[in-house]
A = this chain, B = another copy of it.
Amino acid sequence: MQKITKIVEVDLGDRSYPIHVGSGLLDDPELYSEQIAGGQVMVVTNETVAPLYLERVQNALAGFQCESVVLPDGERYKTLETWQSIFDALLKHRFNRQCTIVALGGGVVGDMAGYAAASYQRGINFIQVPTTLLAQVDSSVGGKTGVNHPLGKNMIGAFHQPQCVIADTDTLNTLDDRQLSAGISEVIKYGLINDPEFFLWLEQNISALLARDPEALAFAIERSCIDKANVVAADELEAGQRALLNLGHTFGHAIETGVGYGEWLHGEAVAAGMCMAARFSVALGWMSQQEEERILDLVEQSQLPTRPPESLDAERILELMAVDKKVLDGRLRLVLMHGIGKSVVTDDFDMEKLRSTLSSY
């Protein structure tokens, strides 16, 4: 059986690491053991993923002192409080500085486990085993870890690169449709940022992705990771161009905060955010209406929302965007489009036009 189908190398000097993409990878002992230095491994997962995959991962780690901590599932538990429970487990089992954390689950588990790895004894190794499409194409690359604060998403965290990422496409078979679509939202984003060819491929293959065709999924994951890795390698600490990856996110975070964490999935909020960015780009005369329609069509076909919720009016969205961390010295910066695959980071736009675009919903 051909197990590993693809390897994407994330090139970050001495913090470079591989992403393994394919089927049947989850319980391959070799993928783990080649990356684990000490004898102790803590698997961090959640109550939804644990019954599905924890035992298989533990079997693959049979050669180590393997412990686990099972977190509650959901974005609303992405808090300092939940995060603390990882340290309780590490210290209860007297884990030393050479131990490794394995993050088994979606983006929330990856963010919290990664941030715990960044912080335990000021930094230990970790391996990411993302089990959602969103986590496979997004949190796999970039080393962003962290938790939410009641006043803002991802406000507390660290940059911390994993030793490797193991993205097993089989795990997507247990993902519900809504979660799959939320992952496709980020996939579409990479096309919109700077890969118009990939966007075209997505328009042609969206049905195959929704039908979980393994080949289509593996291609989309690989291409997304390559696109993201290129942006990240050029700007690891997010000084400039990496902000392109926030396409749809400033609008999206405002939606997530406005409706309360966990009501909308992150990918859903980003999808609506990308459509809002597209409408605003058209309003500024930067992009054609035809391109906006292509974007809305693809988002809609992906079973994703194309607009903010009725409950949030323009003023409330603006207020929520003001506290977002992309605000630079008081100026709101957004990722907008000069066309599909031609995104830019800019603070050079008319706030009144933004207000009227938001009011048009």
The residues of A with any CB-CB pair to B shorter than 8 Å are: 38-39, 80, 84, 87-88, 91-92, 94, 96-98, 118-123, 144, 146, 149, 151-152, 154-159, 237-238, 322-323, 325, 327-330
Contacts and interface: CB of A to CB of B under 8 A. Distances in A.
A-B pairs with the 10 shortest C-beta distances?
A: A91-B151, A122-B157, A121-B325, A119-B156, A96-B327, A94-B323, A97-B325, A87-B149, A122-B159, A122-B158
Nearest to A325: B121
A210 B96 CA distance: 39
A148 to B, nearest CB: 11
Nearest to A38: B329
A253 B80 CA distance: 26
Contacts of A149: 87-88, 91
B151 A92 contact: yes
9 contacts: A39-B330, A80-B80, A80-B84, A87-B156, A91-B151, A91-B152, A94-B327, A120-B155, A123-B158
Given A146-B122, A149-B91, A151-B91, A96 B329 contact: yes
A146 B69 CA distance: 23
Nearest to A118: B158
A120 B38 CA distance: 30
A159 B91 CA distance: 20
Contacts of A327: 94, 96
A201 B122 CA distance: 35
A38 to B, nearest CB: 6
B158 A97 contact: no
A328 B96 contact: yes
Contacts of A91: 149, 151-152, 155, 323
A98 B158 contact: no
A91 B80 CA distance: 15
A121 B237 CA distance: 11
A360 B132 CA distance: 58
Contacts of A123: 158-159, 237
A330 B93 CA distance: 12
Nearest to A323: B94
Contacts of A158: 118-119, 122-123, 158
Given A91-B155, A158-B123, A96 B325 contact: yes
A115 B138 CA distance: 26
A302 to B, nearest CB: 29
A157 B38 contact: no
Given A39-B329, A87-B149, A118-B158, 5 more contacts: A88-B151, A91-B149, A96-B325, A122-B154, A122-B157
Contacts of A157: 119, 121-122
Contacts of A88: 149, 151
A92 B98 CA distance: 38
Contacts of A96: 325, 327-330
Most chain B C-beta atoms within 10 Å of own C-beta, residue among A88, A119, A120, A154: A119
A84 B81 CA distance: 10
